[in-house]
Chains A and B, each alone.
Chain A
Amino acid sequence: MTDGAPLLEVANLRVGFPTRTGMTEAVRGVSFTLGREKLGIVGESGSGKSMTGRSILRLVPPPGRVAADRLAFNGEDLLAASERRMRDIRGRRIAMVMQDPKYSLNPVMTVGRQIAEAYRVHSRAGAAEARRRALEMLAAVRIRDPERVYDRYPHEVSGGMGQRIMIAMMLIPDPDLLIADEPTSALDVTVQMQVLAILDDLCSRRGMGMIFVSHDLNLVASFCDRILIMYAGRVVESCRASELHAARHPYTRGLLASLPRLDGTGGDLPVLSRDPAWAASGPMDGVDG
């Protein structure tokens, strides 16, 4: 952390959805602070990891309800911010990259114009300046021929290129915090590594904080600085990424054991048997980085 105040403070975050049988809680009391670091949030489907990411930007779809003792970005209370103020924060200060570029890009607008638009919404730059910056950004995410790609439509680019375009669009307003929700899960492994390298460089060069939401334990362990492991809407364990292999919570250990390994023996994999106590108990004391 470069300065004293954390970039993001989350205390007792709760996200609930009303149903016929009462409130269903997707996130049940999540707390963490984030500096200028890469924080991984891992968990299986339904663990509440995506909802945690979305609630920071107040993007939980209605009728979902978000409550927290504290949800502050650079000391500013996000829950009390007006919708107008949130529009200002979204994109410019906190950006979000979603999993699938196919559904996140506008299909009837060239990718270059979409990136330039993202820039012009948040600055008062003219069209020529926005175009120049968009081309720069395309080069920064290592697209070989930015001029040619600028005039393409989303269906004319590959998945890996689409995801790089998304990242270019999210980073052009120079945000302080990037929330990436499974940003590379739809990509081939080699492309995945290249996109992560771009994010890694941008984080270290710009001093950006990052929340990396993923189901892939090994990927998060090798990419992030610190990890939160979520289960049934709670953080069950938090540890330094380099120490994930020494995780203590039975859920984390069970997940790690159930992964097939390249150098494994090929026998039966240990199957996770879930303990109802995991969902009930609070976070376990971990090695908090």
Chain B
Amino acid sequence: MTAMIDIRDLRVTFGRGADAVAAVDGVTLSVRGGESFGLVGESGSGKSTVLRAVSGLNDEWTGRIEVAGAEQGTKRPKGFFKQCQMVFQDPYGSLHPRHTVDRILAEPIAIHAMGDADARIDRVLRDVGLGPAFRFRYPHQLSGGQRQRVAIARALVLEPRVLLLDEPTSALDVSVQAEILNLLRRLRAEHGLTLVLVTHNLAVVANLCDRLAVMNRGRLVEEMTVEELRRETAREPYTRQLLRASQGYDRAVAESFRDYA
């Protein structure tokens, strides 16, 4: 299968001169069409910055980004966003508080002049498991899980091929997290979506992804399959430390941690 997302030597630097910080320091990776790919790391590892560069939210990057076979510049054409949509971490912050669900979902349809808004909104709401009863509610009338479903519906209503997910479940309770993960799995199968999931939670990656990359301090440490993750056969010491830290508290293990540059 050909690459849906292809990134070569991506670099993102914040600040200038002595204060310059290389948030992403030469990352090369490739995500196949239809694949679910996890990008894992601790805060400051650059995982979200990679996602923001791919999505076009960050235009201060160098290197090469290809999405669906088309090389991307710093400014994206409108058509790009129809193919590639993003879902954010905080469903409390990413929906307009004074727009109804209907208006939130109608806006992308109007921007892309897709027409047939009524039927599309109805369909996408059913698709994310909310149903038409939620159509004329405001975000504050919804729970966190319902809001995240609306955010996913907003991305999905354009019928994209790629869904970029930045910590989509980390603001949610575990029982709601399970519902959203199941929803994403079903939508991926039904729509043939390519998913890129940024998270710090290795168990979420093990549940939803086929392959993953581990990042630390702007660099890609290791790429592995989810099978390798489940068997805990990581090659790099940093990945092994991350795996041990994800398995609950252990006094002796906590003592063994060190910084990896």
Partners in one complex: yes
Residues of A within 8 A of B (CB): 44-45, 159, 188-194, 196-197, 200, 215, 217-219, 221-223, 254-255, 258-264, 266, 268-272
A266 and B200 contact, Cβ closer than 8 Å, known pairs A44-B175, A260-B207: no
Residue of A nearest to B255 (CB): A197
B149 CB, nearest partner CB in chain A, Å = 13
Interface residues of B in 127-144 (CB under 8 A from A): 144
Interface footprint category on B? 35 or more
Residue of A nearest to B45 (CB): A188
CB contacts (< 8 Å) of A223 on chain B: these are 248-249
Which of these, B175, B202, B245, contacts A258 with CB under 8 Å? B175
A271 and B179 contact, Cβ closer than 8 Å, known pairs A260-B203, A262-B206: yes
Q: Judging by beta carbons under 8 Å apart, are B174 and A255 in contact? A: yes
A215 and B173 contact, Cβ closer than 8 Å, known pairs A260-B178, A271-B178: yes
Instruction: Say yes or no: is B177 at the interface (Cβ < 8 Å to chain A).
Output: yes
B97 CB, nearest partner CB in chain A, Å = 19
- Provide 19 A-B residue pairs closer than 8 Å at the C-beta atoms, listed in order of the A residue: A44-B173, A189-B42, A190-B42, A190-B242, A190-B257, A193-B250, A193-B257, A197-B255, A200-B249, A258-B177, A258-B178, A259-B174, A260-B204, A262-B230, A264-B206, A264-B230, A266-B207, A268-B182, A272-B178
Q: Judging by beta carbons under 8 Å apart, are A261 and B206 in contact? A: yes
B179 CB, nearest partner CB in chain A, Å = 5
Q: Judging by beta carbons under 8 Å apart, are A45 and B173 in contact? A: yes
Q: Judging by beta carbons under 8 Å apart, are A190 and B179 in contact? A: no
Q: Judging by beta carbons under 8 Å apart, are A222 and B43 in contact? A: no
CB contacts (< 8 Å) of B245 on chain A: these are 189-190, 192-193
Q: Judging by beta carbons under 8 Å apart, are A262 and B203 in contact? A: yes
B136 CB, nearest partner CB in chain A, Å = 23
Q: Judging by beta carbons under 8 Å apart, are A189 and B182 in contact? A: no
Q: Judging by beta carbons under 8 Å apart, are B243 and A262 in contact? A: yes
Q: Judging by beta carbons under 8 Å apart, are A269 and B181 in contact? A: yes
Instruction: Say yes or no: is B187 at the interface (Cβ < 8 Å to chain A).
Output: no
Q: Judging by beta carbons under 8 Å apart, are A259 and B203 in contact? A: yes
Residue of B nearest to A198 (CB): B254
Extra 6 A-B pairs, beta carbons < 8 Å, given A44-B174, A188-B200, A264-B203:
A197-B254, A197-B255, A200-B249, A264-B206, A271-B178, A272-B175
CB contacts (< 8 Å) of B206 on chain A: these are 260-264, 266
Q: Is the interface of A mostly helix, strand, loop or mixed?
A: helix
Which of these, A191, A192, A262, contacts B247 with CB under 8 Å? A262
A255 and B203 contact, Cβ closer than 8 Å, known pairs A222-B249, A262-B229: no
Complex CA gap A194/B252 in Å reads 10
Q: What 5 A-B pairs come out closest when comparing CB atoms?
A: A222-B248, A260-B207, A258-B178, A188-B42, A269-B178
Instruction: Say yes or no: is B208 at the interface (Cβ < 8 Å to chain A).
Output: yes
Which of these, A196, A219, A221, A269, contacts B207 with CB under 8 Å? A269
**Residue in B185, B207, B257 with the greatest tally of chain A CB atoms within 10 Å:** B207
A171 CB, nearest partner CB in chain B, Å = 18
Complex CA gap A215/B245 in Å reads 17
B130 CB, nearest partner CB in chain A, Å = 15
Which of these, A196, A215, A255, A261, contacts B249 with CB under 8 Å? A196
Residue of A nearest to B179 (CB): A271
B243 CB, nearest partner CB in chain A, Å = 7
CB contacts (< 8 Å) of B250 on chain A: these are 193, 222
A188 and B174 contact, Cβ closer than 8 Å, known pairs A262-B229, A266-B208: no
Complex CA gap A197/B226 in Å reads 30
A255 and B246 contact, Cβ closer than 8 Å, known pairs A260-B206, A262-B229, A271-B182: no
Residue of B nearest to A185 (CB): B170
Complex CA gap A255/B174 in Å reads 7
CB contacts (< 8 Å) of A188 on chain B: these are 42-43, 200
Q: Judging by beta carbons under 8 Å apart, are A190 and B241 in contact? A: yes
B169 CB, nearest partner CB in chain A, Å = 9
Instruction: Say yes or no: is B253 at the interface (Cβ < 8 Å to chain A).
Output: yes
Interface residues of B in 155-199 (CB under 8 A from A): 173-175, 177-179, 181-182, 185
CB contacts (< 8 Å) of A259 on chain B: these are 174, 178, 203
B138 CB, nearest partner CB in chain A, Å = 19
B154 CB, nearest partner CB in chain A, Å = 23
CB contacts (< 8 Å) of B249 on chain A: these are 193, 196-197, 200, 219, 222-223
